Copies of this chain bind each other. A is one copy, B any other.
Amino acid sequence: MPELRYDPIRPRWVVIASERSLRPQDYIRKRQEPKPSNNCPFCTGNEKMTPPEVFAIADAPREPDTPGWKVRVVPNKYPALRIEGELKREGIGIFDVTTGIGAHEVIIETPDHHRHMDALSEEELQAVLIAVRERMLDLRKDERFRYILFFRNHGAEAGASLAHPHSQLIATPIIPPVVVSELKCAKQHFEQKERCIFCDLIKQELLLKDRVVAENEAYVVWEPFASSFPFETWIFPKRHLHDFTQLSDEDLRVLGRVLGETLRRLKTALDDPPYNLILHTAPTPHSRPARRHYWETIEYDYHWHIEIIPRVTKIAGFEWGAGLHINPTPPEDAAKYLREVEIS
């Protein structure tokens, strides 16, 4: 069973995969031999190579784990956290441990091995986002889960181990540290001002305009003022809403359009960069009893959004040791490049 361990001096949880421990040789081999990519388990026709599907979108009725799907969701064959077992929270001397209970699912975004998210149509992206919403709604029924994180790794340098277009969902028995820190800042701002800090940010960015990449009736895309990475890009809904799962199919169609356009801008400007995409939304309602303080005003103070991080710089000792990122491209310049780039 994997474990979550809490670091007492850098206050955060870490997942320790204690059941199948990688040895030193495994890391050496990994560095030397790139993984072969023939016989892709995510390609259509190879449905039996994955664990049984938990969700799919198709144009016509079909048997599970057979071709004909447009989007398909399966459990990760090598999950970071395990669905089976009891959630236990323990103290060991000075240390804290939680059993590594969770869920880890893969969203196969298209049957086509080569069509990445930037190449998908508005409707195809909508289908992917509907799959995300539906899986989140299903996973949050499990009372053990405190958070469900949707993310996408594009390119080997961004951590993608399989080339077939896919994204992932991980359900965790804790609220992840980065989300905790956002929730804290949002709550503190609301307590002082009775306003959502994200709504304030949107207003300021739309007023100044120099970091805005694109805007439509429902969404704003901008480069954050304190971008940790060059060309870091945020997609914010203009409508205040804490919970992504409350979006309608129509909302997700518009989001699909904005997301596709944004990814095409980054692809054109940076020549198909590796990137990470992350969805930040409210914790699951089951986190409420233990995390009441975040929940008191969450409908008012939190605001879901998407963060995209192109991985074009190296993270070195200064960034790790200090937590201080050095960004060689000011977000105002990055926004100008992305605004002016020609996309189809």
Contact = CB atoms under 8 A, between A and B. Distances in A.
Interface of A: 5-18, 20-24, 27-28, 30-31, 80, 93-95, 147, 149, 151-153, 156-160, 168, 170, 172, 174, 176-179, 181-182, 184-186, 189, 197-198, 200-201, 204, 208, 224-228, 230-231, 269-271, 273, 276-280, 307, 309-310, 312-331, 333, 337
Contact of A278 (B13, B225, B320, B330): B320
26 contacts: A5-B226, A10-B178, A10-B181, A14-B325, A14-B327, A16-B226, A16-B227, A16-B331, A17-B327, A17-B329, A20-B328, A21-B329, A24-B231, A24-B271, A27-B230, A28-B271, A80-B326, A147-B322, A151-B317, A153-B317, A156-B314, A158-B316, A178-B320, A178-B322, A277-B317, A307-B321
A196 to B, nearest CB: 11
Given A21-B330, A94-B200, A204-B94, A317 B152 contact: yes
B151 A276 contact: no
Contacts of A312: 27, 30-31
Nearest to A269: B24
A159 B316 CA distance: 5
A324 B4 CA distance: 9
Given A31-B271, A159-B319, 20 more contacts: A5-B226, A9-B182, A9-B186, A9-B197, A9-B201, A11-B181, A14-B226, A15-B325, A21-B333, A23-B329, A27-B230, A27-B273, A27-B312, A93-B208, A151-B322, A157-B314, A168-B317, A172-B324, A176-B322, A309-B317
A321 B21 contact: no
Contact of A228 (B14, B18, B31, B317): B14
Given A22-B328, A325-B14, A329-B23, A226 B6 contact: yes
A24 to B, nearest CB: 4
Contacts of A14: 226-228, 324-327
Q: So how many copies of this chain end up in the complex?
A: 2
Contacts of A153: 316-317
A269 B22 CA distance: 13
Contacts of A279: 321
Contact of A270 (B24, B197, B316, B333): B24
Contacts of A330: 16-18, 21
Nearest to A321: B278
Nearest to A322: B176
A327 B10 contact: no
Given A172-B324, A230-B22, A326-B80, A315 B11 contact: no
A222 to B, nearest CB: 13
B7 A226 contact: yes
Contacts of A225: 5, 7, 95
A177 to B, nearest CB: 4
Contacts of A7: 224-226, 228
Given A17-B328, A312-B31, A317 B276 contact: yes
A170 B164 CA distance: 41
Contacts of A198: 9
A178 B323 contact: yes
A328 B10 CA distance: 19
Most buried by B among A9, A179, A312, A331: A9
